[in-house]
Structure 1
Amino acid sequence: MITVATNAELAGRFEEFADLLEADDVEYKPRAYRRAAENIRAHPVPIGDRVADGDEEILDEIDGVGDAISAKIVEYVETGEIEELEELKAELPIDIADITRIEGVGPKTAGKLYRELGIETLDDLEDAAEAGEIQEVKGFGPKTEENIRDNIEFAREVGQRQLLGEARPLADDVLAFLESLDAVERCEVAGSIRRWRETIGDVDVLVATNENETVVEEFVGWNSVDSEIESGPAKASVRIGESRVDLRVVVPSEFGSALQYFTGSKDHNVRLRNYAIDRGLKVNEYGVFDVSDLDEGDEGQRVGERIAGETEDGMYNALGLPWIPPELRTDRGEITAAENDVLPDLLTHEDIRGDLHSHTEWSDGNTSIEAMVAAAEDRGYDYFGIADHAEGPGIVGGMGLSDAEILEQVEEIRAVDDESEITVFAGIEANVDAEGEIGLSEEVIDALDVIVASTHSALDQDAERATNRLITAVENPAIDVLGHPSGRMLNERSGLDFNASALGAAAAEHGTALEVNANPRRLDLWGSAAQAAIDEGAVIAVNTDSHRPSTLEYMRWGVHTARRGWAEPEAVINTWELAELQAFLH
């Protein structure tokens, strides 16, 4: 049996392997597996597909993937499982991914709770916390037990959703397959994935065709489909890897109305429906209907004169509105803005001139300064910032640079800049401590072009303290960009809760940019927080936080997240001309 395994799926297996090994108190090996998983996830080509086609040489290209891990990848592609992993799961029957989503509960903690209390699942964990059993375990206490109780609901919720950065590439593959079918006239993704929400449930796809049964049959029979969940004359659901993909088929004349309806969000659609009712119109998945002359008792989805539905533009135009970009359809004022013709002229990928936050082998990246800069040049950027980690709270494994090492790196960056066709900024990612301070000397501050300051520790502070901490940071004149402000990791930890409006007002007053971190595991700031900050006059920086050249592609996720925050190009500092940006930086 050949398994169609995405890079994300393969990476997930080795992350699970690493967690279970760590839970079993194995040293060194978990780190190797995590490094391999990170490089597999970020690899620019589908590894599983290539291995399935007999090209095992591709595994030699992946940093951190040696013979042992290569053999496990081949085994997984050929059999759908890794025997050694299955044996480990039998020895440690822990739902490790679910349990470690609890803030402060890592693999070692999960392993200890299993050995001491037999905890295998979130339900087991919740029962033990409610019974007061966890605080009785050596090394734990009432505060840890309370934290676990408070975070159970979060862990359950995120466990049902997939990262946008993992789901969207699959959706692109699905669209490419459907577009290749002769019977398909039009197709598009719908739902939260089209709104570019940071996490999604299922991959929703809509097709316009007059041959619905043919399309459903070809879709279900696609060789990338692992299993069929259900199918009917006009819809089908399948499993591809770890994702559920739902296909809905409509006639071409109703494609626009169905696309608008199934894109959502629910709150946006309710607001739009009420807007239409006030004007004697009805909006649903079949079109826009003039119902002003109908009797009160006339009912039905297609009752009234149909005046729009073939295109999505036409749906909004029939209501006297311009088309509203999917990222804005969250019921945060977009319909009123459309009515008043003041929708934002949203940021596009083409507006981006550079990236101010990237890492190299000097800290926890996996390549040289020269290689990162060359990749930025290949993307057509005007400027690029190296911002490796400084030592400080939350930076583990000795990956942070001392002041002396930072100054040494600055010299190397200057040498690369001299040879480069683009401007290379010498930067650092400093660590914002629990009080909002950073630990850089004045000598280092003066030597650098850009300072990104980020939270990596003390992420359990309450909202008031977290807000004050972040405001203290943006008030520091040395800090140019507040990096990933909440410190969250999607589907892993919730990060800081803070008042985005208050932070935005302080950032605007003190000339500090707030980061939209484009790493698909962060997307921090997120849409509503970015919008609140921009409304207060703050500017943002969309950065990839790249640790290797291939992850400069993350800019895609950051741009769409900024669009969810109503960001126009002028509010994004890395769309500015070089001279304007240099004037802004410290």
Structure 2
Amino acid sequence: MSRNAEIAALFEEYADLLEAQDVEYKPNTYRRAAESIREYPTAIEDLASKGQDAVEEIDGVGDAISSKVIEYVDTGAIEELEGERAKLPVAMDELTSVEGVGPKTVGTLYEALGVENLADLETVASAGEIQEIKGFGPKTEQNILSGLEFARKASERELLGDTRPLADDLLDYLRGHDGIERAEVAGSIRRWRETSGDVDVLAASDDLNGVIVAFTDWGRVERVIESGENKASVVANGIRVDLRVVVPEEFGSALQYFTGSKAHNIRFRNRALDRDLKVNEYGVFDVSDTNEEGQRAGERVAGRTEGEMYAALDLAWIPPELREDTGEIDAAAADALPDLIEEGDLRGELHTHTDWSDGTESIDEWIASAETFGHEYLCISDHATGPGMVGGVGLSDEDLREQAATIREAAADAAIEVFAGVEANIDSEGGLSVAEDVLEELDLVVASPHSGLDMDSEAATDRLVAAIEHPQTDILGHPTGRLLTRRPGLDPDLQRVAEAAADNGVALEINANPARLDLWGRAVKVAVEAGATVVINTDAHSPAEFENDRYGIHTARRGWAGPADVLNAWTASEVRAFVE
């Protein structure tokens, strides 16, 4: 396993510590380098072994940063980072997990009140000390207190973007073991929920103990929590991973049982009871007869596969993403389950950012990357100036005109269809942060909320509906603005938003960034049932993020969406007709 993510995280911490001390320019340099290092396809330790010139092949990595990379690979520490930690001894990640608390706020709170961690922050906020700091006030203090509660709950959950790759790595490892017949992820990760408490994996083998030994020898294991005859728990990448091993003939029943959800399994079990059947992790049992002692005999009738389990109850097999007790049992009984969108159905990407704003690639590079990825079309939609844009990220109206001309010039020679677009900011009243005449010149407009995300539900709904009703809006981007485990975002009336989108021909975005997944499964289902179109966008700032489309696809599946419901599963000409 490469150390790219590990080293990238160190430079992000370094950037935060510098920003907290009001250092200019350098924080952004380190953040850009961190992003490039994290996404670089070669293990950075391999580059480090070849010297600084090799490390400097990474975009945004110069002499100062490459020397620190080599220093860390060789010694396990970066002297300058240790020095910054000594100057500002705070739990930066912990504190900045609170909505409204950024690195500069952390620096101010440390200097003024000695705040080093969440416990300190709660103490001073509860005592009313924060509002006494110049530039703060009672509202800021109350917002921090509210954010503390959310951060504390969120810290108990792991992002799907962290757990699913870890689970996939474990599955690859286990499936390469001779004694394992089958291995699958289970639990909420198999249902593609946006967060989970841990990673659950199930394996089928006649050599239970051998699999447990192999599991605890997995290269990512940091610590073994417990190890028994047929199950074990470890910590890997800081995340708890639980493995259960069953004999092959019980794999289907165990997989169905441990996938959940609890509500789905209760509904499934009750249907079994209505048919004189009993279901558990060991199989489906016929309990219609009694033996000589008057006890139910319990002959096992299914369990080797999940298909057998559902068929025994006269049900079609139900995709894991639907197993939330939202009508899937009745639909399976009526053979009316939807034909869900699949990985590979997407034809293009309609929300990306170039180096004109905060992306890493030029327009030409983006077009080439999209073509290589297999996209048939691409929309370049850089940030416009407006509410929520800081650090000079957003483009002015003049910039957008110039960029649109550049995009169209590049598109003329492209093998794929290219849309000139923008991600406009939605103000507090639902207006867009780009002039009307500029919006009219563009091919596609993504309108997104980036600020004012703490308004009440009614105001939030009115704001989003107003943005949807704007005649130039084509896509409502990440509709709530939430960041999973960091901020809750807006809480609109989803039904009103979906109906407005359906009425105005505006697509509602499923932002596939695993830190967002906004819309989410339940919201997608509301949208689809209202007749609205959804669109799965990665909001990519670098080509590697195209791979995040799978998180969006499975989120769409959780919302019962099929290819006909998803804008970018359509052809380029169909998309152009939709936005025009």
Residue 381 of structure 1 corresponds to 375
Is the deviation greater in 340-349 or in 83-92? 83-92
Q: Is the 1:353–1:381 contact (alpha carbons within 8 Å) kept by the matching residues of 2?
A: yes
Name the residue aligned to 1:276.
272
Distance 1:293 1:92, change over 3 A: farther
- Structure 1 residues 412-451: aligned runs within 5 Å: 412-451=406-445
The equivalent residue for 2:289 is: 293
Q: 1:45 to 1:191 in 2, by over 3 A?
A: farther
Is residue 529 of structure 1 aligned with residue 529 of structure 2?
no
Aligned residue for 2:488, secondary structure, equals coil
Structure 2 matches for 1:315-354, cutoff 5 A? 315-354=309-348
For residues 327-364 of structure 1, the C-alpha deviation after alignment (integer angstroms, 9 at most, x for no partner) is: 11122222222222221111112221111111111111
Q: 1:55 to 1:371 in 2, by over 3 A?
A: same
| Residue 17 (str. 1) matches residue 11 (str. 2) | no
Distance 1:446 1:228, change over 3 A: same
Q: Deviations over 1:209-235 (max 9, x none)?
A: 111111211221233333322212212
Give the one of 25, 30, 38 matched to 1:28.
25
Q: Is the alpha carbon distance of 1:173 and 1:59 closer, same or farther for their aligned partners in structure 2, counting shifts above 3 Å?
A: farther
CA distance in 1, matches of 2:15, 2:291: 66
Judging changes above 3 Å, is the alpha-carbon distance between structure 1 residues 295 and 392 closer, same or farther for their aligned structure 2 residues?
farther
Question: How many residues get paired?
Answer: 580
Distance 2:52 2:378 in 1: 35
> Are 2:251 and 1:217 equivalent residues in the alignment?
no
Distance 1:356 1:291 in 2: 54
Match of 1:141 among 129, 137, 140: 137
Instruction: Say if 1:344 and 1:447 are closer, same or farther in 2 by CA, change over 3 A.
Output: same
Write the deviation string for residues 472-521 of structure 1: whole angstroms up to 9, x where unpaired. Answer: 00011100001111111222222111111110011001111111111122
Conserved? CA contact 1:544–1:558, under 8 Å: yes
Query: Partners in 2 of 1:329 and 1:77 — Cα distance?
Result: 45
Q: How does 1:163-562 map to 2 (within 5 A)?
A: 163-294=159-290, 304-562=298-556
CA displacement 1:132-152 (0-9 Å, x = unmatched): 222222222221122122222
Of residues 114, 124, 127 in structure 2, which corresponds to 1:128?
124
Cα distance in 1 between the residues matched to 2:164 and 2:71: 26
The one-letter code of the counterpart of 1:114 is Y
Instruction: Give the aligned residue type for 1:36.
Output: A
Task: Report the Cα offset of residue 268 of structure 1.
Answer: 1.8
Contact kept, 8 Å, 2:48 with 2:54, in 1: the verdict is no
Q: Partners in 1 of 2:532 and 2:36 — Cα distance?
A: 35
Residues 1:405 and 1:323: Cα distance change in structure 2 (over 3 Å): same
Deviation at 1:196, TM superposition (A): 1.3
Conserved? CA contact 2:52–2:63, under 8 Å: no
Q: Distance in 2 between matches of 1:393 and 1:200?
A: 32
- Please state how far the C-alpha of 1:256 moved relative to its aligned partner: 0.9
- d(CA) in 2 for partners of 1:412, 1:96: 40
Percentage of identical aligned residues: 58
Q: Secondary structure at the match of 1:552?
A: helix
Equivalent-residue separation in structure 2 for 1:323 and 1:43 (angstroms): 40
The answer on whether the counterparts of 1:51 and 1:77 sit within 8 Å (CA) in structure 2 is no
Cα distance in 1, alignment partners of residues 293 and 319 from structure 2: 35
Instruction: Using the TM superposition, give the Cα deviation of residue 543 of structure 1 relative to its aligned residue in structure 2, in angstroms.
Output: 0.9
Could you tell me how far apart the structure 1 residues matched to 2:398 and 2:325 are? 50
Maintained 8 Å contact 2:52/2:67:
no
CA deviation map 1:84-122 (0-9, x unaligned): 444543443322222212221112112222222222222
- Residue 153 (str. 1) matches residue 152 (str. 2): no
Distance 2:67 2:431 in 1: 47
Secondary structure at the counterpart of residue 189 of structure 1: strand
The letter for the 1-side match of 2:499 is: A
- Structure 1: runs of 5 or more not aligned: none
Counterpart of 1:583 (choices 555, 577, 580) is 577
Q: Is the 8 A contact 2:147 2:487 kept in 1?
A: no
Unaligned runs of 5+ in 2: none
Deviation at 1:52, TM superposition (A): 9.0
Q: In the aligned structure 2, how far is the partner of 1:350 from the partner of 1:297?
A: 56
CA contact (8 A) 2:377 2:572 kept: yes
- SS of match in other structure, 1:501: helix
Kept in 1, the 8 Å contact 2:230–2:246? The answer is yes
Equivalent residue of 1:452, what SS?
strand
Q: Return closer, same or farther for 1:92/1:291 CA change in 2, 3 Å cut-off.
A: farther
Shift of 1:296: 14
Q: Report the more deviating stretch, 5-14 or 182-191.
A: 5-14
Please state whether the residue corresponding to 1:395 is helix, strand or coil.
coil
- Is 1:6–1:241's contact at 8 Å kept on the other side of the alignment? no
SS for the counterpart of 2:203 is strand
Secondary structure in 1 matching 2:225: strand
Query: Cα RMSD over matched residues?
Result: 2.4
Query: Compared with structure 1, are the counterparts of its residues 269 and 46 closer, same or farther at alpha carbon in structure 2 (3 Å cutoff)?
Result: farther
Secondary structure of the residue aligned to 1:362 is coil
Contact kept? 1:5, 1:241, Cα under 8 Å: no
- In the alignment, which residue of structure 2 is the partner of 1:564? 558
Per the TM alignment, residue 131 of structure 1 is displaced from its structure 2 partner at its CA by 2.3
Greater alpha carbon shift after TM alignment, 353-362 vs 68-77: 68-77
Residue type at the aligned position of 1:31? N
1:55 Cα deviation after fit: 9.0
Comparing 571-580 and 266-275, the one that deviates more = 266-275
Deviations 1:266-325 (A, max 9, x none): 22222222222222222211111122335899999xx71111111111111111111111
Aligned mates of 1:61, 1:8 — CA distance in 2: 17
Do 2:51 and 2:70's aligned partners in 1 also have CA atoms closer than 8 Å? no
2:21, 2:244 → 1: CA distance?
45
Match of 1:40 in 2: 37
Could you tell me how far apart the structure 1 residues matched to 2:53 and 2:242 are?
34
